Amino acid sequence: MESQARQAEIRVRTRQTGVAPNVVTDVTKLGQEVAANGKTYNEIWQGEFRRFQADPLFRPVREFSGASSESGGIDTKTSGIDAKTGKPIEQPSTNPDKLGEVVPIDKGIFGTPDHLGATITEKGVNFAVDSHGAKGMDLLLFNSADAKEASSVLPMYRTGDVWHREVPGLKAGDFYLFRAHGDYTPAQDGARFNAEKALLDPYGKAVTGDVKPTGIGEELGYDNTDPKDPSRQLRPSTVDNTAIMPKNVVIDGKDFDWKGDKPLETPMSDTVIYEMNLRGFTAADTSMAPHLRGTYRGMIEKIPYLKDLGITAVELMPIMKFHAEDSTRTNPATGEKLQNAWGYNTMSFQAPEGRFAADGTHGQQVNEFKSLVKALHDNNIEVIMDVVFNHTAEGDPTGPTFSFKGLDNNQYYLLVPNRPELYFDVTGCGNTVNANNPKVQQFILDTLKYWHEDYHVDGFRFDLATAFNLDANGKFQEKTPIMKAIESEPAFAKIKFIAEPWDISTYRLGKFSDQMWSEWNGNFRDTTRSFVRGEAGQTGTLADRIAGSPGWFDESTGRHSVNFATAHDGFTLRDLVSYDKKHNEANGEQNRDGNDDNKSWNSGYEGSVENANMPEWQKVQIEQLRDRQMKNMLSLLYLSRGTPMMLMGDEVRRTQGGNNNAYNQLRLNEMQWSELQKNADMHRFTKMMIELRKAHEIGRTKPDDISWHGVKPFEPDFSDGARFIAWQTAPKTPGVKPLYQAFNAYWEPIKVQLPPGEWSRLVDTNLPTGQDIVGSNNATPLGNEYIIQPRSGIVLEGK
C-alpha cells in the first residue's frame, strides 16, 4: 500500500486546472520568472503547497513553471544553471518527506538522453528512457533487490521523447525502476499510463527477481475489482505494484575479459544445429553439483558432450528475461502449479534470464552468460539465440503491465483500428509488437546489436517472424522497414538470421525475404514424417526437400533451408514413433492445446510398452521398429542439403510421454542423462551420421550433384503410390567419395539395382547395433544389387 507521503505527492503533482498555465520557455529562468502578480514561480509553488496542506481538494490556478502537469519532469535541452547568475536553478522537491521544499538542481543531475538505459558515468549513473506520451517520469531507486518500496523517487528531465537524469554516487549493482505519468485512455487513443505502476527499463541490462503477485491485482494496469466486468480494462488500477516487481540492476558491461575470442563464422552449409532448453539441458544431471544444474555454468560443463556429438551451433530457446509465473494452471493429476518452461514470454529483451545464473542475479548472470558463449567458442560451437520480438509478456488488454504498456502502449503494440483498447494479435499470445514503428524498430536493432557486440552471439532465430511483415498499421507488406533495416545493417553482415516463417495468420515458407534470412523448413519436417510412417505419394516432395528445397532457397543470397524432423513445439523423436495422439493432460488445458496433426505413428502400440499386456517378444519387436524409424528420420535429416537442426535429447531417445506442447512442464523439458547409457546405440548412430555428413560435405553439394534413382538406376518413381526413394550424391570436391542413399517405406523388402561403380555399405538401419552404421574403414563391399528391408534405409559409399 502507498504511504501517506506518497499519496500526498501524487495529489500535489497531479494538478488539474481549466486555466492554461504560464509555461516558461527559457529553462534558464525556471523558478525565477516573475508571474503577472509580481511573484516568482517558486513563491507561487510554496504558497500553493501550504494551501494544499490546509485543503487537499485545492487545485492551483497556474502550473509550476516548466513542470509537466503530472510530474516533476522538466522539458529542456539546456543545462540547470542560470545563464545570468551562474547559480544552480531551483525546483520543488519530490522527496515524500520534503514535499514543497525548494532544493537546488545540480547541473550534473540533468544527465543526457544520448544512451537509453542505465549508463555508468564518471560521477555515477545516467538513466534515460523513451516515452512519447508520458507527461512525467520518475526514477525509482532501491536499497536492495527485495525492497518493497523505493528509497528515492527522483523526477526525470525531458529532451524530445527521452526522459533522463544522472544520479551521482550510484554504481554497478544498484537497483532501479521507472514510473510514468500520463493519461489512461485506452478507448480513446490506446494510452495506458498509470503512475501506480513501477516499470522495467526496456534497455535494462539485467533484472533481479520475479513478479510476485499477492492476488489483489498489483501487476495489472487496470481496475480488476470486478473480474467479471468486461469494461474493467478501461479504468486504471489504483493499486501500487512496486512491492511485487523485479528490479533492474545497473551493469558495468565492460568488466569481462573476451581476450582470445573471435567470431567463428561457420558457413550455414557446414553448420549442425542443436536446439536446446538451457535450463533443461543440465537440470536433471545428478552427476553435477546441485547449484550448477540448470545454469549457464552448468552448461559449460557439458560442452565436451556437444563437441563430441559433432554439434557446431546451439540454438538456445529464449534466455532473455521472461515471465515464468505467467500460468495460473495446475497439473490436474498432481496439483502442481505450472510454470513457463520455454521462455516465449519476454519481459526484458536486453537482460539475460537471472534464474539461469549459478552465482546470483544481481548482475552476475551477465558475465555468466558471456562465459558460456566464450567457452562454446573455444570449442568451435556457435551460439544462436531464439528471440521473441513478435509479442511480449504483457498479454492482451487484461494482461499485466510490466514495462511497454506503461511507457507507450500505443507505440509498442499494434492496436485494432478504431478500437485502440484492443490488441491486434497474430501471435496467439494476446498482443503483437509494432515492429515497424520507428521507435520500436530502433529498439529491436539496438537489442540485436547489443547481444552480438556485447555477448558475441553468432546468430538469431526469430520466433513467428512473419509478425515483421506487418507495417505500423497492421497491414501485410512483402518487405517492411524493420526487415530492410536488419538486412542493410553492416554490423549484421556475417550474423546468422533464421526465421520461423509463419504466425497464426500467415505462412511464408520460402518467401519470407529475398536475401540473408534462412528459414525453419516446416515442410521438410512434415514430408519426412509422412514418408517414414508410410504415406504414399511423398517421394516427389521429399526429393525436393532432400535437395535443399532449391525452389525456395537460393544459397547464393545467404538463404538456407533449416531442416528438422522435431523441435521444441511438438513430439520428440521418440514420441513421434510411439504415439498416434497427443497426451497433454498435464498442461491443465484438458488436452485441448497442442497440434492434433503430428504425422506420427505409434508403431503398433500407444506409448511405452514397458507395462503393456503383451508377450515380451512383441515388445522387443515394437521397440526395434521404433529404433529403426528414428534412425531413418535422423539419416534423412543429415543426408539432406540445407542446415540440419536436431532437438535436444533425440540422440538418447528423450520422451515427453506424448506431450507435444510441453510449454509449462519443467521436468518434461529436461535432458534425461540417465538415458545416455541405456540408449548408447542411438547416441552412437546420431554421432556417426553427423560425422558422415561432414566427411562427405553433404551441406556443400549442389542440386546438380544429385541424381535420382528407383529400383533401377536413373528411374525414380515419384508417382502417387510410391514409397521408395533413392539418390546418388557426387560432390565435385577432390577426395570426397560419392554416396548412394535409399529408403524403403513399404512393408515388404525391395531388391534394388545399384548405379554403376564399386559400392560399400556404411549404413543399414535394419541391422543390429554395431552393424547399422560403420566408418569407411569398416565398410562392407557389395555387388551390383542390394535388398533393402521394410521400413529401413541404406547409405553406400563409392570408390
Q: Catalytic residue, from 382, 500, 651, 772: name it.
A: 500
Neighbours of 432 (CB within 10 A): 24
Q: All 3 cell numbers of residue 332? A: 490436474
Confirm if 207 and 351 have CB atoms less than 8 A apart: yes
Please give the helix or strand (H or E) that residue 411 lies within, else none.
Answer: helix 404-412
CB within 8 A of 121, min separation 6: which ones? 166
Indicate the DSSP class of residue 429: S
CB within 8 A of 659, min separation 6: which ones? 575, 582, 583, 584, 586, 587, 594, 665, 668
Name the CA dihedral angle for 95, 101, 104, 105, rounded to a multiple of 10 degrees.
40
DSSP three-state, residue 671: coil
Please give the helix or strand (H or E) that residue 573 lies within, else none.
Answer: helix 573-576
| Nearest residue to 568 (alpha-carbon basis) of 433, 662, 705 | 662
Instruction: Tell me which residue has cell 535494462.
Output: 204
DSSP assignment of 138-187: EEEEESSTT-SS-SEEEE-EEETTEEEEEEET--TT-EEEEEEE--EEHH
Q: All 3 cell numbers of residue 344? A: 516465449
Can you say whether the dihedral through the CA atoms of 674, 680, 681, 686 is positive or negative? Answer: positive
End-to-end Cα distance, the chain: 79
Residue 463 is among the residues annotated as catalytic for this protein: yes
DSSP assignment of 719-733: STT--EEEEEE---S
- Partners of residue 89 on adjacent β-strands: none
- Partners of residue 459 on adjacent β-strands: 384, 496
The phi and psi torsions of 456 (rounded to 5 degrees) equal 60, 30
Residue 301 is among the residues annotated as catalytic for this protein: no
3-state secondary structure 200-215: CCCCCCCEECCCCCCC
| Integer Rg of the chain from CA | 31
Distance CA 663, CA 587 (A): 8
Distance CA 723, CA 110 (A): 72
Residues constituting the chain:
799
Please state, in angstroms and as integers, the Cα–Cα distance from residue 702 to each residue in 542, 546, 547, 697, 728, following that order. 16, 11, 8, 10, 12
Instruction: Tell me which residue has cell 509550476.
Output: 64
Q: Catalytic residue, from 463, 575, 623, 670: name it.
A: 463
Please state, in angstroms and as integers, the Cα–Cα distance from residue 485 to each residue in 121, 436, 494, following that order. 30, 10, 15
Confirm if 242 and 663 have CB atoms less than 8 A apart: no
Within 373-458, strands assigned E span 382-387, 415-416, 419-423
The phi and psi torsions of 383 (rounded to 5 degrees) equal -120, 120
Catalytic positions are: 463, 500
